[in-house]
């Protein structure tokens, strides 16, 4: 009798939801980034049988649902002759199925572009010898993701009455990079004479993935030395040293795919500098944002090993568009764990951060923490910008606004321009002056917001008190930083903003403190050497002059190409004026020093630089953080 009861219980369990014995496979198991193909996810070894009304649910990662970032696919189930067609077939001819699309993911969340494919059984039964296949792409195919990495496809089976859902199943598709399109060559901005330092060559494909290429390349330094580098999987690192003070660069001299490349300038000194120049991307998104693609861990690796940054901040969204949730509590723990895992003082620094986003007049702000153990303060909890700052008071944190004058048209959104006339706080010491969207320096600049990189709506620059110069005019003491706002887990892209922070050491605490002190400058993509000081004080500082003393302004710039101009802009008596401008004909180096004879009482100064070089139609610029000068102390 006991055996009969046990058998009955076993049969009941097998017929219940939790004991689906199934597996899924992907065919093919590889893809090439941004290339068209068709992929099939097959369900097999089914037991117990699936019957009419039961479903097979399949969820591809979000990158599969866009034709490049922010250009949503029109996936459809009606026209097999059109792209992005989704269909299903069964090896058992007695089984009839159809496919529907839904937004809510198998994890219960809603991604901005993501969809779940529902294969619904209309007639017949699917047993252990049958195979049920979802075909994604059809005759015309569908585009694979931009981001080259291992993609995990999720699937479940579900009973018609919704009372039983099987275990989550997974299979993988490896998205491989395209052939090399361009090369980048990185070096530290500072080194000591006679001591080794690394130079790092990287080959990238059209979508900014590290390209798969093996080979050798000969490199020559501007000091005459030569070295051979071995490229493996698109990467090559080698240690070099220089024996004389000055500036040195290294350039490839044998042909490589993607063209020759040259390092950013390295300044050689006889003693270790007291202040380091560390480069980082202050604004980057991953799949956790629900409107971006690429794994979060992959972004940390790409920042460190791809674009060879010194520090990185992953700023995923806490609230998304079109009902997307943004960071969950579980995902915030994942982000904190990754910050802890990859933070390596002296080599690579991570700073815990996220993006807080609302419409005008508050705008979009990234939140940065000095430790990796803080909690989230979401939009629904803080209500507005003042609420966010109130929540952060007493904590080691600061905020940074970005694309501060932008307007959108998608979905009737009014826009997210920041109204600096209404809002400002000591907790906001910086402004993101450049990103993939464009420049936030002032309205009417020559790099306005555009959809060059993003296909989201019709972004445009809005007039009003929304830009850096407006904030400075209103008395906001903001330094400048740069970021990408990349949504493909590729921080540090060449046509984005990048931040240089002047820091006493490469640690999380030192970098955070230096950022908060506004000891920064920003470049478009390239890593210039920029020195800007007044009376011995550096970028972001206050200068208090003795009576009848004039500001002594010192500037020195070494670019990655010939300099188009370098100019010092002064804000005094409510007006901006260029007080010094150099336009060298054919040199990468500019150095000048002068006293501002027209200074009186108080003024703000900052440096603007442009190279005779463009990256993807954008001119390479640099901006220093301002220096504030007064004859009386401005702060206690």
Distance CA 565, CA 612 (A): 9
Structure tokens at 284: 């980057």
CB atoms closer than 10 angstroms to residue 508? 20
- Domain range annotation of the chain: 18-176, 182-273, 528-636
- Residues paired with residue 311 on neighbouring β-strands, in sequence order: 280, 349
Q: What is the pLDDT of residue 109?
A: 79
DSSP 8-state code for residue 64: G
182-273 and 528-636 have identical folds: yes
Distance CA 360, CA 418 (A): 6
Q: What is the pLDDT of residue 634?
A: 64
Residue indicated by tokens 């900052």: 606
Structure tokens at 133: 């296949």
In what helix (H) or strand (E) does residue 339 lie, and over which residues does it extend? helix 329-342
CA dihedral 14, 16, 18, 20 (to 10 degrees): 60
E-assigned strand segments in 159-263:
169-176, 182-186, 190-192, 197-204, 215-221, 226-231, 235-240, 246-248, 250-252
Q: What is the pTM assigned to this prediction?
A: 0.93
Chain segment 184-208, per-residue pLDDT in tens: 999 999 999 999 999 999 999 999 9
Whose CA is closest to 486, among 457, 523, 525? 525
Regions of the chain where pLDDT drops below 70: 1-21, 163-164, 320-324, 408-414, 450-459, 633-636
Residue indicated by tokens 């008190």: 465
Concatenate the DSSP letters of all residues of 253-320 into one string. -S--TT---BBPPEEEESS--SSEEEEEES-B--GGGSS--S-HHHHHHIIIIIS--SEE----BSS-
Question: β-strand 349-350 against 311-312: which pairing, if any?
Answer: parallel
CATH number of 182-273: 2.60.40.730
Q: What is the pLDDT of residue 17?
A: 42
User: Going by C-beta distance under 8 Å and a sequence separation of 6 or more, which residues neighbour residue 555?
Assistant: 531, 532, 566, 568, 580, 590, 591, 592, 593, 607
Structure tokens at 10: 């076993």
Distance CA 520, CA 623 (A): 9
Q: What is the pLDDT of residue 389?
A: 95
- Positive or negative, the CA dihedral 145, 151, 152, 157 is positive
Whose CA is closest to 238, among 223, 220, 253? 220
**Cα 567 from chain centre:** 30
Give whole-number Cα distances, 359 to 128, 385, 398, 415, in Å.
53, 10, 20, 6
Buried residues in 302-339 as b, exposed as e (16+ CB within 10 A): bbbebbbbbbbbbbbbbbbbeebbbbbeebbebbbebb
N-to-C CA span, the chain: 87
Distance CA 547, CA 544 (A): 9
Structure tokens at 58: 């399949």
CB atoms closer than 10 angstroms to residue 37? 15
Q: Which CATH architecture has domain 528-636?
A: Sandwich (2.60)
Give the phi and the psi of residue 360 in degrees, each rounded to 5.
-60, 145
**Cα 381 from chain centre:** 25
Distance CA 271, CA 166 (A): 64
Distance CA 316, CA 294 (A): 12
- Residues paired with residue 629 on neighbouring β-strands, in sequence order: 543, 603
Contact 447, 398 (CB under 8 A): no
Q: What is the pLDDT of residue 415?
A: 73
DSSP 8-state code for residue 234: T
- Positive or negative, the CA dihedral 280, 286, 291, 293 is positive
Contact 534, 553 (CB under 8 A): yes
User: What 3-state class would DSSP assign to 160?
Assistant: coil
Q: Which CATH class is domain 18-176?
A: mainly beta
């Amino acid at each position: 009798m006991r055996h009969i009861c046990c058998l009955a219980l076993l049969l009941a369990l097998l017929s219940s939801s939790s004991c689906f014995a199934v597996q899924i496979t992907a065919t093919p198991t590889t893809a090439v980034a941004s290339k068209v193909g068709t992929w099939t996810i097959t369900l097999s070894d089914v037991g117990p049988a699936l019957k009419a009304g039961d479903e097979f649910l399949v969820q591809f990662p979000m990158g599969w649902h866009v034709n490049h970032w922010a250009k949503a696919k029109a996936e459809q189930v009606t026209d097999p002759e059109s792209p992005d067609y989704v269909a299903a077939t069964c090896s058992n001819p007695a089984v009839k199925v159809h496919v529907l699309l839904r937004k809510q993911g198998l994890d219960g969340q809603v991604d901005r572009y993501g969809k779940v494919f529902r294969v619904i059984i209309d007639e017949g039964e699917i047993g252990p010898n049958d195979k049920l296949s979802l075909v994604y792409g059809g005759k015309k195919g569908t585009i694979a993701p931009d981001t080259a990495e291992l993609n995990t496809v999720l699937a479940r089976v579900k009973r018609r009455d919704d009372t039983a859902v099987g275990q989550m199943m997974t299979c993988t598709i490896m998205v491989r990079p395209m052939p090399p399109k361009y090369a980048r060559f990185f070096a530290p901005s500072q080194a000591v004479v006679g001591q080794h330092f690394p130079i790092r060559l990287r080959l990238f494909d059209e979508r900014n993935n590290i390209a798969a290429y093996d080979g050798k390349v000969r490199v020559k330094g501007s000091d005459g030395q030569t070295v051979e580098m071995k490229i493996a999987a698109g990467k090559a690192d080698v240690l070099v040293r220089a024996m004389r003070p000055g500036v040195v660069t290294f350039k490839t001299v044998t042909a490589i795919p993607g063209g020759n490349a040259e390092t950013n300038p390295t300044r050689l000194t006889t003693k270790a500098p007291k202040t380091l120049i560390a480069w980082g991307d202050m604004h980057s998104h991953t799949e956790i944002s629900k409107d971006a693609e690429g794994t979060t861990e992959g972004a940390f690796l790409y920042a460190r090993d791809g674009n060879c940054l010194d520090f990185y901040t992953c700023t995923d969204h806490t609230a998304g568009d079109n009902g997307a949730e943004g960071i969950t509590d579980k995902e915030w723990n994942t982000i904190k764990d990754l910050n802890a895992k990859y933070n390596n003082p002296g080599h690579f620094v991570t700073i815990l951060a996220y993006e807080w986003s609302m419409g005008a007049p508050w705008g979009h702000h990234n939140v940065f923490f000095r430790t990796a153990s803080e909690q989230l303060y979401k939009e629904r909890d803080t209500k507005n910008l003042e609420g966010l700052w109130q929540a952060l008071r007493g904590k080691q944190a600061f905020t940074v606004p970005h694309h501060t004058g932008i307007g959108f048209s998608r979905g009737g959104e009014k826009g997210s321009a920041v109204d600096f006339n209404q809002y400002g706080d000591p907790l906001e010491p910086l402004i993101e002056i450049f990103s993939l969207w464009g420049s936030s320096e002032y309205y009417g600049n020559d790099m306005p917001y555009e959809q060059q990189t993003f296909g989201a709506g019709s972004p445009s620059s809005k007039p009003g008190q929304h830009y850096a110069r407006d904030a400075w005019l209103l008395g906001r003491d903001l330094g400048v930083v740069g970021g990408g706002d990349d949504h493909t887990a590729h921080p540090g892209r060449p046509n984005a903003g990048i931040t240089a922070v002047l820091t006493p050491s490469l640690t999380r605490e030192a970098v955070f403190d230096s950022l908060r002190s506004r000891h920064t400058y920003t470049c478009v993509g390239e890593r210039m050497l920029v020195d800007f000081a007044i009376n011995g004080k550096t970028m972001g500082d206050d200068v208090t002059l003795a009576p009848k003393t004039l500001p002594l302004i010192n500037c020195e710039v070494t670019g990655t190409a010939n300099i188009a101009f370098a100019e010092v802009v002064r804000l005094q008596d409510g007006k901006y004026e260029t007080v010094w401008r150099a336009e060298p004909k054919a040199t990468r180096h500019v150095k000048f020093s002068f006293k501002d004879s027209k200074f009186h009482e108080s003024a703000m100064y900052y440096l603007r630089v442009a190279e005779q070089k463009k990256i993807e139609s954008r001119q390479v610029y640099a901006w220093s953080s301002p220096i504030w000068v007064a004859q009386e102390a401005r702060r206690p």
